[in-house]
Structure 1
Amino acid sequence: MKDFPSPEFSSFYQQFLPKTATRATPLILLTDDDRVTRIQVRRFLEREKYQVVEAADGTEGLDAFKRLKPDMVMVDAMMPTINGFEFCTELQKIPEASYTPVLMITGLDDEKSVDRAFASGATDYITKPIHWAVLRQRVRRLIQQAQLLRYLEAANKMFQQLSLVDELTQLANRRHFDMRLDQEWRRMAREQLPLSLVLCDIDSFKNYNDAQGHLKGDSCLRQVARRISAVAKRPADLAARYGGEEFAVILPNTSSESALVLAEKIRLGLQTLKLAHPNSIVSPWVTLSIGVSSALPHQFPKRSALDLLAAADSALYQAKAAGRDRVAFFELTAPSRFQTIESF
């Protein structure tokens, strides 16, 4: 039986984990102004196989946390300048501290002090004099709980990512595309910048599948996807599998001229692969028909991203009607205008 999780899955999952989650030995930040207590606690924790970093006051402790991102924090309640309660409050303002447990060491065990400790952000507390067996169990439990929360968060991020990716081509899927197109329309409207959209359709793909079989059809889709990704590679660009043999590229802050250049690069780039297509009515090779649309969203307050999509779809229809293996352009203006770029 094949091992699970597979090495490929494990590698994919690792990218969603914070670096601290992959430490072989948990790192504990010990913040206490009493040197004797620090020495005692550090030696005990090191015997328990933890890494320990010391800080002599709250300010030093906060700086150490930002620098080292420890797996757990132990802090004394009564310190000069910044006491343990204030330290916890400041720690909560650091995003990376969301899942970092804080164990407060205190000589105060009255109800008011305990309530104040939890209210300031402490996860648990232990009283002085320290009962070492109790400390051992609380540290172990808090670190295990924090690790579990980090793994759960990583799993949620991974499954969210998987829900937005087309399994076959590894491009964004239709759901992701729809979300991003709407987001970018709104963002470009606020920033008064152009938004362009490219729709690509593999010419006579049904004939390709009939002649070559679905396995080769899948391989063809993957190769087309890689070619599109190689061209639309800016961080803000989004290449997606729109559906079946159709692909789309969202191009924020991209003029119509630049979008046309990119579309032509995609079309010509696919030709260089020379994927044989014996049943094509256009060429002996796999080709693309491409529709491009552009708009300045802030000029169309009563329109939406769906209008840009409709414009690109109209351009794609024009490219196919004009003979396929070419790029056609539709600009969302009044009056609307078409432009077809013949293939060479």
Structure 2
Amino acid sequence: MIKPGCWTVAPRILIVDDEKTIRLILRRILHKDGYQVIEANNGEQCLEICQKQLADMVLLDAMMPEMDGFTCCAKLHQLLGENSPPVLMITVLDDQASVDLAFQVGATDYITKPIHWAVLRQRVRRLLQTQWAMRELRRQIEKERMLSEKLEKANQELERLASLDSLTMIANRRNFEKFIESEWKRSYKNGLPLSIIMCDVDFFKAYNDTYGHQAGDTCLKKIADLIVQNVNRSPDLVARYGGEEFVVVLPETDLQGAVYVAEKICKSIKDAAIVHQGSKISNCVTVSCGVATRTSLSWNTDSNSQPSDLIKEADSALYEAKSQGRNRVYSYSIN
């Protein structure tokens, strides 16, 4: 049910899907939770409805004829900018490129088909609560626009909300991408090492299947807290990369230092003894970590590289860690 004290009227959710059956099922589920529902069967109708500011959030199918969901989402942000409603992308695609593209075009979150209805309801509720908080904050900013000190404080809070993952309350993917870009330029300019750690929860799908998605969310919050506890410096960043993946950025840190942090993370999570009977390697939750480092010497030899190259190397290292049995750290240094 809708959380009382937030929306004065039931939020309006726009369902965009070319399949009538899917729209019918979604409408029944959302109506049951007290939401108003608007429907569109293609991208053009979605854009028309949103320009009239009739939707508080959009459930958008990624794969539609004529205009797919990715194109529709990108056009929506081009037309409305900051006034765009949050978009929950629904897709049959679960590959990394499709996930990256969904965030790139402006989707707030995504969920894959076949849809797990309990997960859908939780994510809709969370996005609407965040949307309500953002609207209230904007209203307060407008009300106090003549008070420059309060206006500045509210703007900072708005920025903070937009940069956090709504579940774990650590930095979100967009915040990470801005941060790594900035640190990449700074490290290159000053010839300093830069490291990142990619962390993936081992057999997390099995955890959700065994204990349920609500327990899975609680598990992810605990893991985020444990990672933060092991990353002690203020210049460092811990972010949720997507799903059960986390990323740590370590400026001015060489490979040895980054591996040390990654090993601390692995150990602390295993020591937390979060029961995981669905794991194939342990009776508790574990993580695998991939580490990649851009050394101070490498800036002069490969000046055309990009932050995405370092991310790919960390992802490759993570793949190796998982291939070698999981619950371990694998490192890669770009010399």
The residue identity in structure 1 corresponding to 2:219 is: C
Distance in structure 2 (CA, Å) of the matches to 1:235 and 1:190: 21
**Aligned residue for 1:176?**
175
Please state if 1:160 is matched with 2:159. yes
Q: Does the residue aligned with 2:147 lie in a helix, a strand or coil? A: helix
**2:323 maps to what in 1?**
321
Instruction: Report the counterpart of residue 282 of structure 1 in structure 2.
Output: 281
> Residue type matched to 1:309 in 2?
I
Equivalent in the alignment of 1:302: 304
Distance in 2 of aligned mates of 1:227 and 1:183: 26
Whole-Å separation in 1 of the counterparts to 2:182 and 2:287: 27
Count of residue pairs brought into register by the alignment: 195
Which amino acid letter does the alignment assign opposite residue 266 of structure 2? R
Residue identity (%):
41
For structure 1, the residue ranges without an aligned partner over 5 or more in a row are: 6-143, 334-344
Is 1:200 paired with 2:202? no
Q: Distance in 1 between matches of 2:240 and 2:225?
A: 11
SS at match of 1:249: strand
State the SS of the aligned residue for 2:320: helix
Secondary structure of residue in 1 paired with 2:168: coil
Secondary structure at 1:233's aligned position in 2?
coil
What TM-score does the superposition give when structure 1 sets the normalisation length? 0.54
Give the Cα separation in 1 of the matches to 2:332 and 2:289: 11
Q: Distance in 1 between matches of 2:334 and 2:289?
A: 17
Residues in 1 aligned to 2:314 and 2:277: alpha-carbon distance in whole angstroms: 29
What displacement does 1:298 show? 2.1
Give the deviation of 1:294 after TM superposition.
0.4
Q: Distance in 2 between matches of 1:325 and 1:146?
A: 51
* One-letter identity of the residue aligned with 1:170: M
The answer for unaligned runs of 5 or more in structure 2 is 8-142
Q: Which stretch of structure 1 is more off in the superposition, 232-241 or 293-302?
A: 293-302
DSSP-derived class of the 2:163 partner: coil
Superposition RMSD on alpha carbons, in Å?
1.9
Matched-pair contact (CA < 8 Å) for 2:202–2:326: yes
TM-superposed CA distance for 1:173, in Å, is: 0.3
- CA deviations 1:76-106 (Å, max 9, x no partner) are xxxxxxxxxxxxxxxxxxxxxxxxxxxxxxx
SS in 2 for 1:242: strand
Give the partner amino acid of 1:216.
A
Q: How many angstroms does 1:201 deviate by?
A: 0.0
1:239 aligns with 2:238: yes
Runs of 4 or more, structure 1, over 4 Å off, are 1-5, 144-147
Comparing 314-323 and 297-306, the one that deviates more: 297-306
Cα displacement (A) at 1:272: 1.1
